Amino acid sequence: MAQHSTIVGGSTAKRVINCPGSVALVAQMPPKPSSVYADTGTLLHNVIADVLDGKATAQDFLGVVHADVTLDQDLIDSKLLPALAALNDIDPDRQMEFETEVLVGFGDLLPGVFGSSDIVGRIGDTAYIVDWKFGDGVTVDVEENPQLMFYAAAAMRTPAAQWAFEGATKVELVIVQPPYVKRWETTPRRIQLFEKELMQAVKMAQRPDAPLAQGDWCRWCAGKAICPIMTGAADRAMVSALQSVDAADVSHHLKMADQLESWMREVRALAMQTLEAGLPVPGYKLVPKRGLRQWVDENKALDAMRDMGLDAKELTETKLLSPAQAEKVLKRHKFALPADHVVSVSSGNTLATEDDPRPAVMQIGAQLSAALGKLV
């Protein structure tokens, strides 16, 4: 079963990143007693690790007891066997090299921050982090999942687990929550960016004025019983402060704010008009808005994917699915999106500072018209 640090672990990463102040609150609370749900999860994690390590089959563990929980046939049939079958679907050719229950941490970078990953593995150029979720009721999303990104980032820093990430160009995070299997493919760079976010949160959590924030991460927070936001103390303090503010001043400032917002809109519009005319605005440029992929020709794209052996019903609703939607269908069949049938189309231009990494829009049409106008 996963081990976690006192500062932040995989299961608490989302909370600490979003609410650094929760670390101090949780530290004030007495340890929570175990529950039948936690004990069941521990039992299932221990058994599946032993099965994957080749020590025995799942059936061989029938009757094993952890705390007051006994592994019965129902748990084997409803939890263990579907989880093992899911792993076979992920790795049908048995190519994955993996280790189970791997203790991973950040070493001197973040002392005392560690956790235990259920599976760290590798197939080809892809590193894998697999996490078993045996609880019922609350389904867990895998995309941008902080717990799995925590394990991946820690594994990349752990000498005993780095082998799975050396030279990898992709990282696949997998949640197996029988009967569901959820997979999300990302990159080592995304995991590195998450690590930076985690580092900032840990440093913030150690400050006496670490901020608190309310959200879905509060659900499992042991400190919420004494949290000022949850108890309303923060709201009461804010109301008290507001009562001391001169309402006439607020009204005056609000009128000024309305005028200022209108002026700022006009300034931005003027800057856009100037740049679109091909004239410079020092320190600023036009950049294209995020491009959305579109089919070059829907009929030809559909024919191309039919030629791969896909059923047109999978790719159409009232019309052909968008490239992003079709890509998800193709991935299930292990096909790549036919790139020659896709084009990225920006919805327009937007204003950006000169140091923005996006390339500036080439105002060729405006410049050409101006040049030709001089020749007339």
Is the pLDDT at 243 greater than 80? The verdict is no
The domain tally of the chain equals 3
Q: Do 161 and 168 meet the contact criterion of CB atoms below 8 Å apart?
A: no
Boundary (domain end) residue, out of 173, 194, 217: 217
d(CA 154, CA 116): 9
Q: Do 191 and 153 meet the contact criterion of CB atoms below 8 Å apart?
A: yes
If you average pLDDT over residues 15-30, what whole number do you get? Answer: 92
Residue type present at position 237: A
Residues 48, 194, single domain; the answer is yes
Residues 104, 73, single domain; the answer is yes
Residues 143, 73, single domain; the answer is yes
If you average pLDDT over residues 16-40, what whole number do you get? Answer: 90
Residues 184, 297, single domain; the answer is no
Is the pLDDT at 227 greater than 50? The verdict is yes
Task: Kindly report the CATH number assigned to the domain that includes residue 27.
Answer: 3.90.320
- pLDDT tens per residue, range 212-222: 998 889 888 88
Residues 190, 41, single domain; the answer is yes
Q: Please name the residues in contact with 137: beta carbons below 8 A apart, sequence gap of 6 or more.
A: none
pTM exceeding the 0.95 threshold for the entire prediction: no
DSSP symbols for 55-78: S--GGGGTT-EETTEE--HHHIII
Band the pLDDT of 14: cuts 50, 70, 90: very high
Residues 268, 309, single domain; the answer is no
pLDDT at residue 350, rounded to an integer: 74
Listing from the earlier edge strand, what are the strands of the sheet with 126-132? 97-105, 114-123, 126-132, 170-177, 180-186
Residues 209, 149, single domain; the answer is yes
- Whether 230 is covered by a domain: the verdict is no
Residues 212, 260, single domain; the answer is no
Residue type present at position 204: M
Residues 79, 197, single domain; the answer is yes
Map 256-280 to HEC letters: HHHHHHHHHHHHHHHHHHHHHCCCC
Boundary (domain end) residue, out of 198, 217, 236: 217
For residue 151, the enclosing domain spans 10-217
Q: Which helix (H) or strand (E) holds 115?
A: strand 114-123
161-165, 236-240, 251-255: lowest mean pLDDT where?
236-240
Backbone phi, then psi, for 328, in 5-degree steps? -65, -40
Residues 16, 143, single domain; the answer is yes
* Of 192 and 359, the one with more pLDDT: 192
Is the pLDDT at 116 greater than 80? The verdict is yes
Residues 153, 71, single domain; the answer is yes
Is the pLDDT at 372 greater than 70? The verdict is no
- Whether 200 is covered by a domain: the verdict is yes
- Whether 4 is covered by a domain: the verdict is no
Band the pLDDT of 200: cuts 50, 70, 90: very high
- pLDDT tens per residue, range 335-362: 888 888 887 766 677 777 777 777 777 6
- pLDDT tens per residue, range 307-326: 888 887 777 766 788 888 88
Cβ neighbours around 197 below 10 Å, total: 14
pLDDT at residue 49, rounded to an integer: 93
Percentage of residues in the chain with pLDDT exceeding 70? Answer: 90
Is the pLDDT at 99 greater than 90? The verdict is yes
- Whether 121 is covered by a domain: the verdict is yes
Residues 34, 174, single domain; the answer is yes
